[in-house]
Structure 1
Amino acid sequence: MTIQDHRVDADGVGLHYLRVDPPEGDGGPPVVCLHGGIVDSARCSWGGVIEPLAAGLGRPVLAPDLAGYGDSDRPVAAYSTAYHVEAVRGFCDALGLARVDLCGLSLGGGVALGLALADERVERLVAIDSFGLGTELSNGLLTWALAQAPVLNRLSLALLARSRRLARASLGSIVVDPDSVPDEAVDELFALLQREDPGHAFRQWRAAEVTRQGYATSYVPLLPELQQPVLFLHGAADEVFPPAWSERAADLAPDGECVVLDDCAHWPPRERPEAVLEQVSRFLGEA
């Protein structure tokens, strides 16, 4: 098996995606993996996981770059969570995916939840350190204030783009030990930082989603209506979105489960890939 690069037109937006096809399938639905925000891509967050996941499940695994990220188009858009939900729905439509399992990280988790609540083709769902499970800002009004000053994000990313060492060190905000992150993930992050205006889609998303009162999108009131089995996977040391969000969500969802990973923060697919593979393979393999 190898990771293949593909591209598809999803309602007028060109989306790049990675695909891994196992030599033999089990007949289950394809798994669609969605990455996070700030500066990210399918390869950056999922590159070390999708091959063994496809092999273990015996199913195709697809990982798109969200609109505005990676090698996907950068249309003029607000890049709100709702926008990304519709873009992923268009991705599934364009590829003729009648059934899917979703696995989303951070922003991608919120997008996966939004699609699962609105689209019956989603059969099972894994939400990892997910957005959309609470309104409380991670740093209170400071988070809101930073959202009002996008120039600070541009300046910080420009600084990180000057040094691979600084890029690795910056991961200390989302992992317990930056030195534990594989070189290939740091290389991908550093390459993304070299692109024109990195972080553009994230700043647009932040402008749409971060309000003085808190995050604009919260699926908490809708979780009792969630029809699909869902695994909430969360790093115990996550300081971006608290593990308590996932624990509460699992209690509210009719068929919810929560697993909290020790020695792990906000980037489990890169920080604890073996644990992520174990939990995701177990949960999706239960179908």
Structure 2
Amino acid sequence: MRDVWTGHRTIGEIELYTACAGSAAQRPLLVIHGGPDWDHSYLCQPLGRLASSKRLLLPDLRGCGRSARGLPIHRYHPDAAVADLLTILDSFAITMTDVLGFSYGGLLAQRLAAAAPQRIRRMIIASSSIIPMPANAYDGWAERDALLASEAAVWSDPTLSGPKRPRAAAFASARANVWRADALPELLKRLRVVWFSSEWDRARRAGVLPSARLDDAVSVLIRTEIPILLLHGRYDMVFPPMLAEQAAAQMPNATAVVLDDAGHMAHIDQPEVWLDAIANFLE
């Protein structure tokens, strides 16, 4: 169903690319990808199935995919990405939207909610977290350590540079990011068409990229009163699912759904159940 998508370019301070599906008459859903040095494409399915009822907007963050690259490194900043997302909404004349933030995009979604709560009707934090991860969150999980060892080797490999580094890391961590072995071929297929970049990695390596995590996120997001769905895989090796459950227990405006037999890429491990949870929450 990739053919349901069209492209839109927003020209403001910089050029931003957004993949679009659905019609302007439908309620919008803004989807924020992770990485951050990936593009939006790995999330197109199963979300494309919502195009009959939602106006889907999947932008490439600045420095990513088909959006502007080559900016000074200090301009790769979470607050700049949030400003870009608001610019994109304005370019579509959207005053209020639903939001789905995936992985790193979930951290940006929280910052967007804090900056402009009046622009968000409902928010989904998918394969991400509101509560900071404790240092011992994964202690004793030897299988995770083994699966992620090859990714760690990529990030420390001095022979890799530019987009080759995040691309190699994505492939090296693929088996850790899906829980079901039979889901691995689908993830690898998607990785082959991602437009990887290295702009955010460049800023990180220079020490000028701050954390995207929102300070005192639980309290801030409670005050927004935005209904929040925390959607997670039970065997996520990047963000522990217990953090979603803990956040939901503390927040009257949040609900956690943790999917069995799913890892970080829960939308690939369990696409039907994942999409049903989103559709039901956004009704």
Shared fold per TM-score greater than 0.5: yes
1:270/1:117 Cα in 2 relative to 1: closer, same or farther (>3 Å)?
Answer: same
8 Å contact 2:266–2:274 — kept in the other structure? yes
Give the corresponding residue for 1:261: 259
Residue 83 of structure 1 aligns to a residue in which SS?
Answer: helix
1:12/1:139 Cα in 2 relative to 1: closer, same or farther (>3 Å)?
Answer: farther
Find the aligned partners of 1:99 and 1:19 in 2 and give their Cα distance. Answer: 17
1:2/1:216 Cα in 2 relative to 1: closer, same or farther (>3 Å)?
Answer: closer
TM-score (norm 2): 0.79
Find the aligned partners of 1:12 and 1:113 in 2 and give their Cα distance. Answer: 23
- Structure 1 residue 188, shift from structure 2 partner: 4.1
- Structure 1 residue 51, shift from structure 2 partner: 1.9
What is the count of residue pairs matched by the alignment?
263
1:17/1:153 Cα in 2 relative to 1: closer, same or farther (>3 Å)?
Answer: farther
Find the aligned partners of 2:275 and 2:200 in 1 and give their Cα distance. Answer: 28
Find the aligned partners of 1:59 and 1:247 in 2 and give their Cα distance. Answer: 28
8 Å contact 1:80–1:205 — kept in the other structure? no
Once the two structures are superposed, the pairs formed by residues 77-92 of structure 1 within 5 Å of their partners are 77-78=73-74, 79-92=76-89
1:121/1:158 Cα in 2 relative to 1: closer, same or farther (>3 Å)?
Answer: closer
Give the CA RMSD over aligned residues. 3.4
- Structure 1 residue 115, shift from structure 2 partner: 0.9
1:37/1:272 Cα in 2 relative to 1: closer, same or farther (>3 Å)?
Answer: same
Structure 2 counterpart of 1:5, one-letter code? G
- Structure 1 residue 203, shift from structure 2 partner: 5.0
8 Å contact 1:154–1:199 — kept in the other structure? no
8 Å contact 1:135–1:217 — kept in the other structure? no
Q: 1:172 aligns with which of 170, 175, 186?
A: 175
Find the aligned partners of 1:49 and 1:66 in 2 and give their Cα distance. Answer: 20
8 Å contact 1:229–1:256 — kept in the other structure? yes
Give the corresponding residue for 2:142: none
Q: 1:224 aligns with which of 211, 222, 225?
A: 222
Give the corresponding residue for 2:98: 101
- Structure 1 residue 182, shift from structure 2 partner: 5.3
1:236/1:133 Cα in 2 relative to 1: closer, same or farther (>3 Å)?
Answer: same
- Which deviates the most, 103-112 or 33-42? 33-42
1:176/1:209 Cα in 2 relative to 1: closer, same or farther (>3 Å)?
Answer: farther
Q: Which whole-Å deviations, capped at 9, do the CAs of 1:84-140 have from their partners, x for residues lacking one?
A: 222212221222211100011011111111111221111100110124431535779
Give the corresponding residue for 1:118: 115
- Tell me, yes or no, if structure 1 residue 239 matches structure 2 residue 240: no
Structure 1 gaps, min length 5: none
- Structure 1 residue 39, shift from structure 2 partner: 4.2
- Tell me, yes or no, if structure 1 residue 12 matches structure 2 residue 13: yes
- Structure 1 residue 38, shift from structure 2 partner: 4.8
Find the aligned partners of 1:17 and 1:8 in 2 and give their Cα distance. Answer: 8
Find the aligned partners of 2:130 and 2:266 in 1 and give their Cα distance. Answer: 18
Structure 2 counterpart of 1:3, one-letter code? W
Find the aligned partners of 1:65 and 1:151 in 2 and give their Cα distance. Answer: 26
Identity of aligned residues (%): 27
Q: Which whole-Å deviations, capped at 9, do the CAs of 1:173-221 have from their partners, x for residues lacking one?
A: 22113541454x534423447x6xx3332453584246xxxx8644234
Once the two structures are superposed, the pairs formed by residues 42-53 of structure 1 within 5 Å of their partners are 42-44=40-42, 46-53=43-50
8 Å contact 1:236–1:265 — kept in the other structure? yes
